[in-house]
Amino acid sequence: MFAHHHHPAAVVLASGEDSLAYLQSQWSSQLDWKGENQATYGLRLNRKGRILADGFILRKDEENFLIVSYDCPAENLIALLEENVVADDVEFEDRTDGHEIISLWGGDHEAISSQFAFELPQGNSFATTEIGLIFWGRKTKPPNIDILADEEHVEALGEFVETVTRADALAMVDANSLALARVASGMPAIPVEMGPTELPQECGLEDDAVDFDKGCYLGQEVMARIHAMGQVQRVLLPATIKEESPETSPADLFLGEKKAGELKSYFSHESEISGSGMALVRRNLLPEIRASGLSFLPSEEPQIFIK
């Protein structure tokens, strides 16, 4: 099993009597589950259904929720969350400092949890443990384990990682390795790869991050319309790039002389002049793209390949 230690871009505490109702109106996923310790992944959309932010909402009790985002800065996330507060009893507090995440993937979660006596979360929930809050993350498929530790748990989490690593049950790797695993799983990074010009359906998030039965929320009408009409015109897919990183990102992609999409990210393969990344391409051109490949300039030899 592999692990990477990183810092979340945002850990925000939402508190107040109206926290649940207000977050329900802002978030794309269903939050009104019974019981405490619920963990739900979702999106903050704009009224046109475009993606502004993502994150996990951890329900500690009826009035307190932690909102955790891998890549959306706390300042930006809080600004979005406060945007529509009128008379609601809800406050947002930046708790990012002092929090750390260990992401674990690529192994037998049940075996390692049994061997080293830590609790796995059940379904859409999080487990409160001596090493931090544990929930199912969204770095890889199958889902990885995320352990979120605050200042009180950091030392215990460090001791756990040292023990598991010493027992050869865990290999600590760098950020690039985790990014390559994420790309191979087809998991989008928000807002790095999918943002204010993209829809959840373009990166396969409609099943996991959008609820079509809940009440009103920002972007709901657009989500319902797309759900009723069928597929979108673009799709985000993992790509293999047979050359060095382009100078700018996103980079235009061409099928012959025709612009066919954009390369949204690039992560280098070790000891090779090549990499992997996420490409947003036109769905109607997918058969040709898969057969021929893409290039960074019109009519050049193909260097970008999508399965």
Nearest-angstrom CA–CA distance, 21 and 84: 12
* Identity of the residue numbered 54: D
Q: Which of 88, 14, 17, 16 is nearest to 44 (CA)?
A: 14
Q: What was the pLDDT predicted at 273?
A: 82
Kindly state the percentage of the chain with pLDDT values over 70.
100
Task: Supply the CATH classification number for the domain 1-226.
Answer: 3.30.1360.120
Hey, which residues does 267 pair with through a beta bridge?
276
The rounded mean pLDDT for the chain is 95
Q: What was the pLDDT predicted at 21?
A: 95
Residue 35, by phi and psi: left (phi above 0), alpha (psi -120 to 50) or beta?
left
271/73: higher pLDDT: 73
For the chain, domain boundaries: 1-226, 233-307
What would the mean pLDDT of 266-283 be, rounded to a whole number? 93
- At 23-43, the pLDDT tens digits run 999 999 999 887 789 999 999
Question: Which class is domain 233-307?
Answer: mainly beta
Sheet holding 91-94, edge to edge: 38-45, 51-61, 64-69, 10-15, 91-94
Burial of residue 285 (CB within 10 Å: 0-12, 13-18, 19+) is: middle
For Cα atoms 237, 229, 238, give the angle at the middle one, nearest 5 degrees: 0
